[in-house]
A and B are shown apart, each in its own frame.
Chain A
C-alpha cells in the first residue's frame, strides 16, 4: 500500500480552505449589480389565492420587480417535476399534482411560494413583502399521515389524496406462510418526520448574460448536472448548452440538496427578466418550512416464524406521507428504496408489502440520508428484536439463525444480494460490545435505581442506486451511471473531472488517492474537479452512497484507458513493443530490461508527439469513461447500542455504541469512520431528539433550532467503530459505500436498547426524556409489584 493510495488514512486535501475560512459556498458568491430575492410564503396550510395586490409594494424603496405564478405561466415556465414514476396495483400511474414554482391559484402548505420580491437589498425586498396583499380563501387542512385519505383533497387529480397504492412481493405465498406460522409478531410503527438541516442553508444566484444569451446558476446542489437537465428539459429555462450550473463548496446535503426547488428556478429565470443577477439565501426557518423533509411513515408489520424460530414470512402495510407536492425523487423513497430492503439480512421466503403514498398539507417529503432504507431497517430490526423477546431467544442468536449465508441470494423483493458475511460482523460486534458482560452491567445499573438495556441493529442497505437498466425498469426517468475524465497535463500532473459531487464526503482526497496509487504520482499532483457543468460534461451527482462504488469506478475505467495509451507512448519512447511495456509505481519498464521512463516523461512525450508523429497514435493524454455498474451494492453490518435510563428524569444516556460495518474495499479509513460517526449521530437524533411537528391546522411548530432538537455534542457518545471486509463483486474497485450506514443502522438499535431497558415495547421515536419518563413509570410500577 502506498502512503497516499487506496487504504491509507490520508489527511484531507480540502481541509486547508475550510479551516482558514476560505471555502467558497454559494452565499459567498456575489455578482456585480446583483439583486436580492425574498419569497413571500403562504401562512396557510391550504387555501385558494383569490387575489394578489402588489401595486403598493412595487413602489417601495429599492424594489426592482415582483413576480407571481402568473408571470411564470405567461413565460411558459414549467412546474417542478417528480422524476420517478410509480404504478399502482391496478396498473394506473401515480397521481402527480401540478407543482408550479410559484403558486397558481392555490397554496398547499405553510411555506408554499406565493410571490417573489426582488430588490436592491434583501432588507428592502423583505420589507416590501409586508406590503403585498394576498387574499386567501382558507380551506380545511391536514398534516396527519394516517388520516390523509379521509381529508380534504389537495389536488384535483387525487380526490382521496392517494398518490399511489403500490405493492411488492407475493401476497399469496405470504398469506400461506402466515397460515402455517407457529408464532406471529405484530408491531405498529411510526417513523417520525425529520428535517435534514445541513448546516449551510440552501442558496442560489442566477444570472443572465445578454451577449451570449446564457444563464448561469450558482446553487447548493448535490447534483448540478441533474439540476441543469431538469431546469432545461422540463422546466424550460434554457437549453442545456445555454445554462451553466455551478455547485461550489456545499455545506452538507443529506439528500435535501438533490432536489430541484422553486427558489433556484425562480432566481435563474428572473435574472433575465430583471436584467441583473438575482440572489437568494434561505434563512433557517425557511429551510424548515421548504426544504424537503424525510421519513414520516405509519406502518403495521407482521413477522411469521416456524417452530424452529425460522422466519417464514413478512407482511407490511405502510402509509407514507409525501407532503403537498411530489418532490424530485419522492415517489421512489417509500417504494423502491424501501420495500426491497425489508428482507434485511435474513432469509425470508415470502414477503408482501403494500404502500399508500399520500398528500398532506406539509412540506414535500423526499430522500433524507438513507432514504427508505432507514424506514425498512426500522421495521425489520424492531420486528426481529421483538420476535426474539416473545420467543424467549437471545436477539443475537435469533438473528444469527436467520441470516443469509449463501451468495448470491435472491430475496422475494427484487434484490439479489451479491456478497457479504453477516455473522462475521455480528461476532466482532458482540466481542467489541462486551455482550457477555451485559448482565453484570444491568445489575449494576439496577443497584443504582437505573434501567440498562442493549439493542441490536443488523442492517443491510442497497447503495450505488444503479445500474441504469434496473432503475429504469423500476420507473426512474434517468440512468444512474457516473462519468469521469482524466486529463494528464504535459508535466505529468492530473485533473480528474467527475460527475460526483462532494459536499463533505472528501472526494478531493479519496478520488486523488485512487489516481495517486494507480499512476504512482504524488497526491499533490492530482486535482479533482467537480460541481460545474461547464467543466464536467455530464454526471448524476452524489446521493445513495454512490460516489465510491459508481463515481470512482468511472475514474478507474478512465485510468485503465490512460494506462493503455501511456504504454503505447512509452513503447515509442523506449523503442520497444507496446506489449513489452510494464507499468508499476509510476514507471514504464521494458520487460526483462532496466530500460524505463517515468510517468511524467511519458506525459510530456504524449504532448510533444515527436516520437510517434505520423504513426497510428493521437497526441495527448486524456481519457473519459462512463461507468454503469452491474448491480446495486449491499453494505451491511451490526450496530449495538447500550443505554442507561434514569426513571426519575426519563433521560436516556447512551453508554456504549459499537458499530461493525462491511463496506467492501475502503479507500480512506479515516474518512469512512467519519461518515459512520455522522450517520450514527443522525440516527440517534431520529431516535431520541428530532421530530418535525405540524399542528392540526398544518402550522409547523418546529421551525427553528430552538424548537427542533438537533443532536449536540453533549447529547451524543463517542463511538466504537470496527470493520469487516468482503469485497463487492459488482464493481472493479470492490467498494460498497458508507455514507448512509450509520443513519440506517442507528434508530432501531437505540429503540431496541430502550425497550430492553424498559421491559416493554410502548415507546415511539423520538424517545425524548418526557416520553421515556412516561414509559418508565409503567416499568417501575411493574418492578414494584414483583
Chain B
C-alpha cells in the first residue's frame, strides 16, 4: 500500500492505496467522485478527463501516486458553489449533451482548450482539439457550438474576475 496526498476540488485528501491504482479509480472509488467516467481502456475516449495542476489529463492512464501533491479538479469541482461554470452553462444552452456520459470529460477538455487556445475558437480548431474525446450521441454539431459559446463566456468570467 502507498499513501497519497492531493488537493481535489480544493479539498485536501489522503488515500492509502495500492501503488497501481489509477487516478480515475482513486477519484471514483475512494473519493466517490463518480462524475469522472471510464469509456475505454486505451486512452481514446476522454470520458475520464480531469485537470491536474491546471492541465487536462486522462485519469484512466494516470497513476494516482503520480499525482501526489497535485491539485486535481474534476467535473464536480468546476462550478463555483451553486454557480455553474460558463462552459457547463454553454453545454446546456446549446444542447451539447444527450446521454451525458462523455459530458464531464468533454467539458473538462473544453475548458482546457480555452485555457490553451483562447476565447475565440474557430470550428476547425474546436474539432481538431476534440480529437481525444468521443461522443456517440450528438454528432458533435452542438458540442462544437457549445465550446465556442463557452469559450466566449469564459472571457466574460475572466474580465469579471479582474
State the A residues within 8 Å of B (CB). Answer: 11-12, 14-25, 27-28, 123, 197-201, 249-252, 254, 283-285, 503-506, 670-671, 673-674, 677-682, 704-706, 710-714, 716, 718-719, 742
Q: How far is the CA of A285 from the CA of B41 in the complex (A)?
A: 8
A249's partner among B84, B100, B141 (CB-CB below 8 A) is B100
Q: Is B79 a contact partner of A678 (Cβ separation < 8 A)?
A: no
Q: Which residues of chain B are near A28, meaning CB under 8 Å?
A: 28, 34
A25's partner among B97, B101, B130 (CB-CB below 8 A) is B101
Q: Which residues of chain B are near A505, meaning CB under 8 Å?
A: 98
Nearest CB of chain B from residue A715's CB, rounded to whole Å: 9
User: Which of A17, A199, A711 counts the most B-chain CB atoms under 10 A from its CB?
Assistant: A199
Q: Which residues of chain B are near A23, meaning CB under 8 Å?
A: 35, 100-101
Nearest CB of chain A from residue B111's CB, rounded to whole Å: 12
Q: Is B136 a contact partner of A252 (Cβ separation < 8 A)?
A: yes
B69 within 8 A of A: no
User: Which of A12, A677, A712 counts the most B-chain CB atoms under 10 A from its CB?
Assistant: A712
Nearest CB of chain A from residue B77's CB, rounded to whole Å: 9
Q: Is B136 a contact partner of A254 (Cβ separation < 8 A)?
A: yes
A284's partner among B39, B104, B133 (CB-CB below 8 A) is B39
Q: Is A705 a contact partner of B141 (Cβ separation < 8 A)?
A: no
Q: Which residues of chain A are near B14, meaning CB under 8 Å?
A: none
Q: Which residues of chain A are near B75, meaning CB under 8 Å?
A: 19-21
Q: Is A714 a contact partner of B130 (Cβ separation < 8 A)?
A: yes
Q: Which residues of chain A are near B103, meaning CB under 8 Å?
A: 18-19
Given contacts A25-B37, A704-B42, A718-B141, contact A713 B76 (CB under 8 A): no
Q: Which residues of chain A are near B115, meaning CB under 8 Å?
A: none
Q: Is A21 a contact partner of B139 (Cβ separation < 8 A)?
A: no
Q: Which residues of chain A are near B144, meaning CB under 8 Å?
A: 713, 718
Q: Is B41 a contact partner of A284 (Cβ separation < 8 A)?
A: yes
Q: Which residues of chain A are near B36, meaning CB under 8 Å?
A: 21
- Residues 9-41 of chain B: 1 if any A CB is under 8 Å from the residue's CB, otherwise 0? 000000000100000000010000111111111
> What are the 10 tightest A-B residue pairs by CB atom distance, in nearest-first order?
A21-B35, A251-B101, A18-B100, A681-B139, A504-B99, A21-B75, A677-B139, A705-B44, A504-B98, A713-B130
Q: Is B97 a contact partner of A704 (Cβ separation < 8 A)?
A: no
A11's partner among B39, B45, B92 (CB-CB below 8 A) is B92
Q: Is A251 a contact partner of B99 (Cβ separation < 8 A)?
A: yes
Q: Is B123 a contact partner of A18 (Cβ separation < 8 A)?
A: no
B162 within 8 A of A: no
B95's partner among A25, A674, A679, A712 (CB-CB below 8 A) is A674
Q: How far is the CA of A624 from the CA of B102 in the complex (A)?
A: 35
Q: Is B42 a contact partner of A678 (Cβ separation < 8 A)?
A: no
Q: Is B40 a contact partner of A679 (Cβ separation < 8 A)?
A: no
B135 within 8 A of A: yes
Given contacts A19-B103, A712-B130, contact A199 B39 (CB under 8 A): yes
> What size tier do the contact residues of chain B reach?
35 or more
Closest to B29 in A: A30
B47 within 8 A of A: yes
A sample of 27 inter-chain contacts (CB < 8 A) reads A15-B92, A17-B100, A18-B97, A19-B100, A20-B35, A20-B75, A22-B35, A28-B28, A198-B136, A199-B45, A199-B134, A200-B37, A200-B99, A251-B99, A284-B39, A504-B100, A670-B95, A677-B140, A677-B141, A679-B139, A705-B40, A706-B42, A710-B134, A710-B136, A713-B133, A713-B144, A716-B139
Q: Which residues of chain A are near B139, meaning CB under 8 Å?
A: 677-682, 711, 716, 719, 742
Determine the main DSSP class of B at the interface with A: loop
11 new A-B pairs (CB below 8 Å) besides A123-B18, A251-B101, A678-B136? A19-B88, A20-B78, A21-B75, A21-B76, A27-B38, A198-B136, A199-B39, A677-B142, A681-B138, A704-B40, A706-B42
Q: Is B131 a contact partner of A714 (Cβ separation < 8 A)?
A: yes
B100's partner among A251, A712, A716, A718 (CB-CB below 8 A) is A251
Q: Which residues of chain A are near B151, meaning CB under 8 Å?
A: none
Q: How far is the CA of A704 from the CA of B36 in the complex (A)?
A: 20
Q: Which residues of chain B are near A15, meaning CB under 8 Å?
A: 91-92, 97, 100
Q: Is A671 a contact partner of B95 (Cβ separation < 8 A)?
A: yes
Nearest CB of chain B from residue A386's CB, rounded to whole Å: 28
User: Which of B41, B99, B103, B134 counts the most A-chain CB atoms under 10 A from its CB?
Assistant: B99
B126 within 8 A of A: yes
In chain B, positions 63-113 with a C-beta closer than 8 Å to chain A are 74-76, 78-79, 84, 88, 91-93, 95, 97-104, 107
Given contacts A18-B103, A21-B104, A713-B127, contact A681 B140 (CB under 8 A): yes
Given contacts A20-B35, A677-B138, contact A198 B128 (CB under 8 A): no
Q: Which residues of chain B are near A252, meaning CB under 8 Å?
A: 98-99, 101, 136-137
User: Which of A23, A710, A713 counts the most B-chain CB atoms under 10 A from its CB?
Assistant: A713
Given contacts A21-B104, A254-B136, contact A714 B127 (CB under 8 A): yes
Closest to A19 in B: B88
Q: How far is the CA of A20 from the CA of B142 in the complex (A)?
A: 18
Q: Which residues of chain B are near A249, meaning CB under 8 Å?
A: 99-100
Q: Which residues of chain A are near B133, meaning CB under 8 Å?
A: 712-713
Nearest CB of chain A from residue B46's CB, rounded to whole Å: 10
Q: Which residues of chain A are near B141, meaning CB under 8 Å?
A: 677, 716, 718-719
Q: Which residues of chain B are near A25, meaning CB under 8 Å?
A: 34, 37, 101
A20's partner among B41, B79, B140 (CB-CB below 8 A) is B79
Closest to B89 in A: A19
Q: Is B92 a contact partner of A12 (Cβ separation < 8 A)?
A: yes
Q: Is B128 a contact partner of A14 (Cβ separation < 8 A)?
A: no
Q: Is A199 a contact partner of B101 (Cβ separation < 8 A)?
A: yes
Q: Is B88 a contact partner of A20 (Cβ separation < 8 A)?
A: yes
Q: Is B91 a contact partner of A19 (Cβ separation < 8 A)?
A: yes
B56 within 8 A of A: no
Nearest CB of chain B from residue A173's CB, rounded to whole Å: 41
Q: How far is the CA of A197 from the CA of B88 in the complex (A)?
A: 25
Q: Is B131 a contact partner of A712 (Cβ separation < 8 A)?
A: yes
B143 within 8 A of A: yes
Q: Which residues of chain A are near B107, meaning CB under 8 Å?
A: 19
Q: Which residues of chain A are near B76, meaning CB under 8 Å?
A: 20-22
Q: Which residues of chain A are near B100, meaning CB under 8 Å?
A: 14-15, 17-19, 23, 249, 251, 504
Q: Which residues of chain B are near A14, meaning CB under 8 Å?
A: 100
User: Which of A19, A283, A671, A704 counts the most B-chain CB atoms under 10 A from its CB?
Assistant: A19
A21's partner among B33, B38, B136 (CB-CB below 8 A) is B33
